[in-house]
Structure 1
Amino acid sequence: MRFPKPEPKVALSTASVYPETTATAFEIAARLGYDGVEVMVWTDPVSQDIEALRRLSDFHGVPVLAVHAPCLLITQRVWSKDPWNKLQRSREAAEKLGAGTVVVHPPFRWQRAYAREFVRGVWRMADETDIRFAVENMYPWRYRDREMLAYAPAWDPTEEDYRHFTLDLSHTATARNDTLAMVNRMGDRLAHLHIADGNGSAKDEHLVPGRGTQPCAEVLEHLAASGFEGNVVVEVNTRRAMSPAEREADLAEALAYTRAHLAAASRTAGP
């Protein structure tokens, strides 16, 4: 008899509870039954404090499965202004917390020296550790009928030679990508998934999966059926929630949706 492989673990991004805190994310992840968290390192001091994160993980019984490096516009001064130092510290955090993946964005175009060395530099760092540096797909910035290419070497990481990728389905919506084609281009280098949704707006929406136009169900079922060994991370925007209860309901819905479609693939595979 052929037994199905275990389903991928489903983690909660600490960014999904904003404007609540990193500590709140651990609490919600434990209460809702998530398998772990992805720590978004940002301006919340707790997100930058490895010992504080370890204590939260131990207290709630929720492991840290990934660390998202501080590479957003609002985190340019977090963990140094040097982007390579940021990646080094993210790797150290992942190693100390037992996480397997560091998520990193391509450089901004104005980070010229960093951008020139980025592909080679990420390979070099990946060769020094068992931690996966998974480069995330981004999108062109749009305003009215104008488009700005804000990332270099490219917002689409499949145009470059990286060892591992993170696929974000809100970003594919904003970029107006063919999402399933991107999944195929990433192939077995797809190591990490940010599950979210979007409607193709110029705004990066991060909707609860199932509320937009992205093929969230198809991607989840494809990955589960193909033996995906990475993690699936719920990274949704709950800033408009009118109460903590409404935020938690959205995160419970996202978890249920994700697990249902991962399980559907397992049932289809059968014995």
Structure 2
Amino acid sequence: MTATALRVLACAVVVAVLVFANVAAPETGLDTLVADFTAGLSPHQEYHRPKSGELAAAATGFASALDRRGVADFAKIGFSVHDGTDPATGRPYTIAVHERAWGMYVIDRSAPPSLAVEVPHPASDLRTELLGVDLFRREPGAVLLVAGTHRKAADVAHETDSVFHAVATVLARRGLAQVQLHGFDDQNLPATDVVLSSGAGQAGDAAWRAADRLTAGGFAVCRAWREGCDGLEGMTNVQGEMAAAAGTVFLHVELSRTVRESRREDVVQALKEAGS
């Protein structure tokens, strides 16, 4: 190879390296971010229960972030907040994560706030966090709430003094419906795939539509408003009680382990159709 050819080759290599160095790495998908976040949860994790002033600051800070009025209030109580784009949908979002187990909150920025998708028992109710991401991706303007603790460390579905509940309250007071995802072991209700309820409130059109869509999709559904469902009715769920008081929709969805492992897409499709 001539000296000229060697110089040309060397220049080409340098240009290729510079071009490669300026190419942004592909953005991590929300499913991976959520899975990584929940992977560290355990029954024995450390949990700092927020005080009343911190809960008020969390509600104010979240509302400010939701309205794009800034994230300073959220950051003051330990939240890390940034914007991103989910490569699976191409839709922009804002994500807030707390370093002391107060949860992960994701706001879809492609449309006005539309639906609260809640995962109160990640890691404990296996794969409900991934179901939450799936449903979030189907609904432009959705807000995803993922608890920051294992349920044995703090059960946010039954504690009003949690940031999770404070955020859910902000959304319900703005009129957003809540869909809360749970899981049960197959042997608890062997003949049932899904348990649906409206928690402490009366079952309305949304609950009836969801039950009908799931049944049409081949799921065996226990409708808690007209039959007993082995204690899985969610009657003492505090987000359900809050929604009943606010007059907003709350759908408590219990899914068998088999359904969570093998029929996630079918469940999400049925819930999406019920809300459309």
TM-score by length of 2: 0.31
Query: Which structure has the larger Rg over C-alpha atoms?
Result: 2
TM-score by length of 1: 0.31
